Structure 1
Amino acid sequence: MLAKRAATLDILAGGRFDLGLGLGRADEENQATGVSKHRRGRRADEFLAVLRALWQQDVAEHHGEFHQVPPTRLAPKPVQRPHPPILLGGQAPAALRRAGRLADGWVSGSRQGGVGLRGEDEGRLHAGRDRRYDALFQSQGRQGGRQVRRSFREQGS
């Protein structure tokens, strides 16, 4: 459902859609969905793989620990190739590494008030990347999101 909605929004936005995701921090969010917050990182790794498969493959199929997707076609595909940029939020060391490893960028939380990361947190964000980064890429609004994508792509990610 998320892959289809994101593809539709990307089409309606003329290829200017960014998908910002967070794994949730409040216990109430997990209680409402009936899903334990433990292993949410592994669950996120898997659902990101499912999203990418649905956007990029003619027929996607996934059989994982958390998600089962039978052979499925998603149409229409998003305008942006290979897919709309995925921006992940989070402050925990594992969340920052995940954003560095799997996302096209990172989004700060509203609790930070747009303030950048501390040096050790910046290192965690980049720890999952293959290349060394010389600046922090933080999305702050539409302009910031474009900066994140441009900077990550210029670095070869």
Structure 2
Amino acid sequence: MTRSEPATFGVAMPFYDHQADYESLLTFARRAHELGFDGLWVSDHLVVGPPPENSRTWYDVPTLLAGLAAHVPGMTLGTDVLIVPYRHPFLAAKMLATLDVISGGRLIVGVGAGHSQHEFDVLDAPFAGRGEVIDEYLQLWKAVWTDGPAVFTGKHVRLDEPELGPRPISKPHPPIWVGGNGPAAIRRAATHGDGWHPLALPPEVYAAGAAQLAELADRAGRPTPTLSYSGYFGEITPKPVDTDRRVPLTGGVQQVLDDIGAYRDLGVTNVVFRLAAPHLTSDQILDQLELVATDVLPHAR
């Protein structure tokens, strides 16, 4: 593939407890907008493990993005990723359509299967077999979002209603980008999604997944989904980092630029930085934003 399309660069919102007071999040979002990032992306959890290793402060994703929308005009608002089985599909479809309307059509719906059985237990939702549930829920979302009666019948959910509003501004509906790195996620992106949005895959592994995605989409008679990449936590520094444990989009500025180039060569058109490493303060995260905006983005676009 070639770099035929321009790239967009987003940033994931902080979510560790010591970074997640609302004023700090609002400051982060506004600063990302001022510095020229293209999108804000928010993770979706209920509760993940005990503190201090894991955060206990999790905002509702559609509500938080709706609140931030007016503060970051023009920025994409992405869910990174929304765990589909956590919400009744009709309720989720209405929430997301409302968010798309409020934001003027800036929503990208990243979706995932979830990995924490504890969270499913809290919701009294089945963890096993959730893939089949997700496939049905995504189809019901589209039935609610598109013109005409909202009709869908599946094993887990049914809906038969007259035309429902509000309709999303994005047509035919907000893009659905499937998160997840494994075969099931790739299959779901090819058959139900508009994009693939995996987390922290090395370029060589990403390349194999992208090839499989293109093949499956072609078999399904669908266009190849948009390729996106979401980075993992870690610091970016002016000087290179000499370690075998460095993950993509972390380390020295030139190393990060080389990473971006590798993904762009694979056809990736959206990159999400995850700058809020757990050991950083809110002020240090703002410094990371500044560094990326000054030393990375001008050379990566």
Q: Is the 8 A contact 1:10 1:16 kept in 2?
A: yes
Whole-Å Cα distance in 2 between the matches of residues 71 and 123 of structure 1? 39
Structure 1 unaligned regions, length at least 5: 149-157
Match of 1:147 among 256, 265, 269: 269
Percent identity between the aligned chains? 32
Number of residue pairs matched by the alignment: 140
Whole-Å Cα distance in 2 between the matches of residues 104 and 14 of structure 1? 19
Determine the structure 1 residue equivalent to 2:214: 126
TM-score normalised according to structure 2 size:
0.42
Determine the structure 1 residue equivalent to 2:256: none
1:24 aligns to 2:114 (yes or no): yes
Whole-Å Cα distance in 1 between the matches of residues 163 and 204 of structure 2? 40
Q: Is the 8 A contact 1:19 1:84 kept in 2?
A: yes
Instruction: Report deviation, 1:78.
Output: 0.5
Q: For residue 64 of structure 1, what is the amino acid of its counterpart?
A: G
**3-state SS, counterpart of residue 50 of structure 1:** helix
Whole-Å Cα distance in 2 between the matches of residues 88 and 79 of structure 1? 20
Q: Is the 8 A contact 1:86 1:103 kept in 2?
A: yes
Determine the structure 2 residue equivalent to 1:155: none
Determine the structure 1 residue equivalent to 2:148: 58
The structure in which a higher percent of residues are helix is 1
**3-state SS, counterpart of residue 19 of structure 1:** strand
**3-state SS, counterpart of residue 137 of structure 1:** strand
Call closer, same or farther: CA 1:115–1:128 in 2, change over 3 Å: same
1:102 aligns to 2:182 (yes or no): no
The structure in which a higher percent of residues are strand is 2
Q: Which has the larger radius of gyration?
A: 2
Call closer, same or farther: CA 1:72–1:117 in 2, change over 3 Å: farther
Call closer, same or farther: CA 1:40–1:14 in 2, change over 3 Å: same
Structure 2 unaligned regions, length at least 5: 1-90, 232-263, 271-301
Match of 1:76 among 150, 166, 182: 166
Instruction: Report deviation, 1:51.
Output: 0.4
**3-state SS, counterpart of residue 128 of structure 1:** helix
**3-state SS, counterpart of residue 170 of structure 2:** coil
Q: How well do the aligned residues superpose, as a CA RMSD in angstroms?
A: 2.7
